[in-house]
Every structure is written in structure tokens, then in C-alpha cells.
Amino acid sequence: MFLLAHTGRPAAIRSAERVVQGLLRNGIGVRVLAEEAADLPLPPSVELVASEQRAAEGCELLVVLGGDGTLLRGADFARTSGVPMLGVNLGRVGFLAEAERDDLDKVVDRVVTRTYEVEERMTLDVLVRNNGNIVHTDWALNEASVEKAARERMLEVVTEVDGRPVSRFGGDGVVCATPTGSTAYAFSAGGPVVWPEVEALLMVPISAHALFAKPLVTSPHSVLAVEVQPKTPHGVLWCDGRRSVELPAGARVEVRRGAVPVRLARLHHASFTDRLVAKFALPVAGWRGAPH
């Protein structure tokens, strides 16, 4: 089992120690990143590995302890290795997490008894063209966002779906998201919440100065594109808010369904509706249910 933790949080360090001890007691081997080992109270039997994309290869499960940022970091390892990721939320919302910090004993028990299910989540493949040449490739689990680089200037873009132009506008940028990312940046920008089992791509303008700049939900087979106009200030491409690259004027960003999904381990069958209500603390008092 591969363990990834936000070692900058005391709660994560305590949780990691508890999980490691529980797994080792039950004969489950544990692997952690060498760069995190100095911050964790680990017995010598724990395997230390270098921080590289294939660090989780050969493991049965990747357990991540932390907030949304740590979970997205874990998704890098999960996608590359094909290992299912089980997230334990130590942050605020944690939509990708399957358990909370009070569930650590349950997490250990489910890992030991292998009583969990695995589901696949769509990803995005992203490429940047400049003067017709591919200059950058990336991927995202939540979203790829094209944003302005200078606060005082709007970014002028043209959006495109399946090779046809949709709209030109100035604004703060555009978010291209998966259903998983619909509750992240795309949600904050005014996009719809899309249930994870729905296969679709989202395109959500950010603070657009235009009459028609509404969120779009397209086919999962669509190719979305955002072109930075030639006479506008340069922009920035962010993938999952973790990796960025500068977009010069005239650059083109293309987003399509990723070839490799991220696999998530699930401990229970709670509906996404219940998860949505719980994570956002939505008011549901007064609900009486459907008539029988």
C-alpha cells in the first residue's frame, strides 16, 4: 500500500502514523515517499521510494491523507500507475475523498479486508499549440483553465467546440472541466454540477463581458478549444490548479477526454446527491420525501 500525506499538517502526521501502524499490524506492507519520511514517525519496515510518477507502481492501493490539493497530487501517481486512490479528507470540502479523519479505523479495516469498490473517473488530455506547433501537453482530473495573467487586463479569447467557433469575448478566462471537476473551479465560475456517472465535458467562461458566454455541456467525444487572440495580453494555462504554463498571444489550447482515467476506491454506496448535500451543507429541512 502506498501512503501519501500532507506532512505540513500535524493532523496528517498523526493520521499517517495511525494508518501505518494499523496496516503493519495486519501484515500489509507500506510504501511512502522518501521526501516525506523525515516528517513521519515510521518504523524501519516501511519502504521508502523516490518522488517520481511511477512511485506507486506495484501497490494495490494508494491512500491519500489531506485536503483537495493533496488528493490532486495523489491523482498524479494514481493515473500513472493505474492504482486506485482512496482519499481521507483532512481539509475543508474534499469532494474526491471517500472518508473523513474520524473514519481512519474503518479505512484500515477496509484496506486489510479488501472490501472496497473501484470506479473510474474521466480525465482531460490538454495540448497547447503556437504557430501550429504543439508546444506543451498536460492532463487534468478536475479542469484545465485558460486565465488572464495580468489582473488589470482582460483576456480576449474565442471558444470552439468540435472545430466550430462558439463565441468571442473578453474576461478572466475559460474553464474546461470533467464531471469530477464540476464541483471545483467550474462550480465557482457559475457552471453546473454534473453527476460523476454522466460522461460529458464542460466549458465555463470566467467573468465574461459578453451577452452569450454561458456554461456549455458537450459530448464526452467533443474537442474543446480556447484561442488567445493575437492582440490580447498573454494568458496562463492551469491544470488542476497545480501545473501552469504561459500562453503567448495567439496560442491555442485544445482539451479532449483523457485516454487514461483515474481510478477511485469507494468504501460505501452513498449517492452523489447525499455527498453534495453533506459537502456543501445544503439546507434540506422540510423535505418529506416522495409519496409511497
How many Å apart are CA 229 and CA 68, to the nearest integer?
A: 33
Residue 288 makes CB contacts below 8 A (sequence gap 6+) with: none
Question: Where does the chain have alpha helices with state H?
Answer: 10-25, 34-37, 68-81, 104-113, 185-188, 272-279
How many Å apart are CA 265 and CA 118, to the nearest integer?
A: 4
Is residue 45 part of an annotated ligand binding site?
Answer: no
Say if CB 137 and CB 125 are below 8 A apart. yes
Is residue 151 part of an annotated ligand binding site?
Answer: no
Is residue 188 part of an annotated ligand binding site?
Answer: yes
Is residue 242 part of an annotated ligand binding site?
Answer: no
Closest C-alpha to 261, from 83, 98, 130, 58: 83
Is residue 153 part of an annotated ligand binding site?
Answer: yes
Is residue 143 part of an annotated ligand binding site?
Answer: yes
Say if CB 156 and CB 168 are below 8 A apart. yes
Is residue 187 part of an annotated ligand binding site?
Answer: yes
How many Å apart are CA 280 and CA 172, to the nearest integer?
A: 25
Per annotation, catalytic residue among 39, 68, 103, 138: 68
Is 68 tagged catalytic? Answer: yes
Q: Side chain identity at 243, as an amino acid letter?
A: R
Is residue 185 part of an annotated ligand binding site?
Answer: yes
Say if CB 108 and CB 60 are below 8 A apart. no
Is residue 186 part of an annotated ligand binding site?
Answer: yes
Is residue 178 part of an annotated ligand binding site?
Answer: no
Report the length, in residues, of the chain.
Answer: 292
Residue 177 makes CB contacts below 8 A (sequence gap 6+) with: 124, 142, 143, 144, 184, 185, 186, 191, 201, 202, 203, 204
Is residue 249 part of an annotated ligand binding site?
Answer: no
Is residue 172 part of an annotated ligand binding site?
Answer: yes
Is residue 77 part of an annotated ligand binding site?
Answer: no
The residues annotated with a catalytic role in the active site are 68
Binding-site residues for NAD(+), please?
68-69, 73, 142-143, 153, 172, 183-188
> Residues within the annotated binding site?
68-69, 73, 142-143, 153, 172, 183-188
